[in-house]
């Protein structure tokens, strides 16, 4: 088994035992990955928001998966070698690319949210925006266009798409001087993500939850803007000489 742990993730004491048990219980399992826990170490509103968001997405996405995560995950070595390992040309999201190729080859991947680690990374607002656009959004669109992966996996589900529409509507309404429409859109965003905001409230209190709604809107707006940029980047790569 090949186990991957990001340098800024501290695995829980039982994480590797859970990984072993997952493979032992299912001989056909190709890969398994886990989740951040709900006690991120880095202080600051943006850091706690971002790390709890990732935790929530993986907790809600438990079960069969069509992607992979090297933050805390494992894959059978024979399967890893059979699909050619990581793509050296994939600068960002090489783990997602690996998961898509594993899934396309018939490998079964499972997200087990009980396999957890504490994320130690600190986030700034600029780092969050840059990552959502250039390091995740744009390359993820390219991977979907290349591999034809599940467009509803994890943070691409219908709730996240509706949240993106609500966030864009709120931003556009504010720019157009339509506060009532903006409030209605933000209310829709809150309703769509009630379980996540409840988690924020439990862990961080009402003030950070209120700020978190705004950060969540920014997250969705940047993700939506990365779609046309990702399509354009994909088309340019296809047209450029090899």
Place of tokens 């266009």: 145
How confident is the model over 136-163, as pLDDT tens digits? 999 999 888 887 655 555 556 788 899 9
Give me the mean pLDDT over the 77-103 stretch: 93
- Which residues sit opposite 12 in a β-bridge? none
CA distance 211 to 196: 13
**For the residues 172-185, what does the mean pLDDT come to?**
93
Say if residue 75's pLDDT is above 70. Answer: yes
Percent of the chain with pLDDT over 90: 83
Span 111-117, average pLDDT: 97
The answer to whether 142 and 63 have CB atoms below 8 angstroms apart is no
Residues 6+ apart with CB under 8 A from 1: 19, 20, 23, 74, 75, 76, 77
Q: What pLDDT is attached to residue 240?
A: 63
Which of 26 and 156 is assigned the larger pLDDT?
A: 26
pLDDT tens per residue across span 222-237: 999 999 998 988 888 7
In this model, does residue 102 exceed pLDDT 70?
A: yes
Position 238 confidence tier, pLDDT thresholds 50, 70, 90: confident
* pLDDT of amino acid 99: 94
Q: Are strands 72-75 and 108-119 parallel, antiparallel or unpaired?
A: unpaired
What is the spatial distance between Cα 184 and Cα 167, in angstroms, rounded to a whole number? 10
Token code pair at residue 31: 């890969």
Report domain extents, the chain: 2-239
* Amino acid 155: pLDDT: 57
Q: What is the reported pLDDT for 159? A: 84
């Amino acid at each position: 088994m090949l186990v991957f742990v990001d340098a800024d993730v501290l695995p829980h004491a039982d994480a590797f035992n859970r990984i072993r048990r997952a493979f032992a219980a299912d001989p056909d399992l190709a890969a398994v990955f886990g989740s951040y826990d709900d006690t991120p170490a880095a202080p600051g509103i943006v850091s706690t928001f971002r790390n709890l968001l990732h935790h929530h997405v993986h907790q809600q996405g438990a079960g069969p998966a069509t992607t992979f995560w090297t933050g805390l995950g494992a894959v059978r070595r024979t399967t890893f070698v059979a699909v050619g390992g990581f793509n050296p040309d994939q600068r960002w999201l090489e783990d997602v690319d690996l998961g898509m190729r594993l899934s396309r080859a018939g490998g079964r991947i499972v997200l087990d949210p009980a396999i957890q680690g504490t994320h130690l990374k600190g986030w700034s607002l600029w780092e969050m925006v840059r990552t959502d656009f250039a390091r995740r959004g744009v390359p993820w669109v390219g991977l979907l266009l290349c591999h034809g992966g599940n467009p509803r996996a994890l943070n691409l589900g219908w709730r996240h798409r509706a949240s993106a529409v609500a966030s864009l509507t709120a931003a556009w309404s504010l720019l157009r001087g339509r506060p009532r429409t903006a409030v209605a859109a933000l209310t829709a965003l809150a309703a769509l993500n009630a379980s996540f905001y409840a988690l924020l409230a439990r862990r961080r209190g009402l003030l950070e939850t209120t700020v978190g709604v705004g950060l969540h809107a920014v997250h969705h707006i940047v993700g939506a803007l990365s779609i046309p940029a990702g399509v354009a980047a994909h088309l340019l790569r296809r047209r450029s000489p090899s």
